[in-house]
């Protein structure tokens, strides 16, 4: 099925500008066909690849890494281990991001608990205030340090 750039933009959620950029950067698995009038024509496979490419980008894979992967794909069979290594490296990166987000979420949950507790007890005025002389101690003692078992929750 032949698709124009506007249709691909609508179906993929990417802008026309981004699609042109991806083409310039060589990020499509197959070269984008053009009609005699220069109009770009995309295939269903291009949409499938864009869905993968979008996930790689949104999870932090750099354009050079995507380019490396797609160049390996274009070469065809025989380099599957190299492709696997590119994907494994990125998987490790994503897992590290997830761990960092979990740790951040633990701290945020702790902060929310403190605020809820202080507000419920009518002690909101005792929450950390940077102009208060004991502010640094308050931050170190209570507000930024999650409970010891927070990672187990």
Q: What domain count does the chain have?
A: 2
Q: Flag whether the pTM goes above 0.75.
A: no
The range of the structural domain enclosing residue 17 comes to 1-61
Kindly state whether residues 56 and 93 are assigned to the same domain.
no
* 133 lies in the same domain as 83: yes
- What's the pLDDT score for residue 146? 61
- The pLDDT, as a whole number, for residue 145 is 60
**Who's near 93: CB < 8 A, 6+ residues apart?**
59, 60, 61
- Say whether both 105 and 146 belong to one domain: yes
Domain end marker among 16, 33, 61? 61
Return per-residue pLDDT of the chain as tens, 153 residues.
899 999 999 999 999 999 999 999 999 998 999 999 999 999 999 999 999 999 999 999 999 999 999 999 999 999 999 999 999 999 999 999 999 999 999 999 999 999 999 999 998 888 877 776 655 555 555 555 665 655 444
Computed from CA positions of residues 76, 78, 84, 85, in that sequence, does the dihedral angle turn out positive or negative? negative
In a domain, 66, yes or no: no
């Amino acid at each position: 099925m032949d698709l124009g750039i506007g249709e691909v933009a609508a179906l993929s959620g990417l802008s026309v500008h981004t699609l042109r950029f991806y083409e310039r950067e060589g990020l499509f698995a197959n070269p984008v066909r053009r009609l005699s009038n220069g109009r770009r024509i995309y295939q269903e496979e291009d949409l499938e690849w864009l869905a993968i490419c979008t996930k790689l980008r949104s999870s932090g894979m750099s354009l050079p890494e995507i380019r490396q992967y797609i160049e390996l794909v274009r070469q065809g069979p025989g380099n599957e281990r190299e492709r696997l290594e590119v994907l494994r490296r990125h998987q490790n990166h994503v897992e590290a991001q997830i761990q960092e987000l979990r740790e951040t979420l633990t701290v945020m949950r702790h902060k929310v608990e403190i605020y809820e507790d202080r507000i419920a007890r009518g002690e909101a005025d005792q929450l950390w205030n940077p102009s208060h002389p004991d502010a640094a101690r308050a931050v170190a003692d209570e507000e930024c340090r999650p409970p010891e078992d927070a990672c187990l929750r």
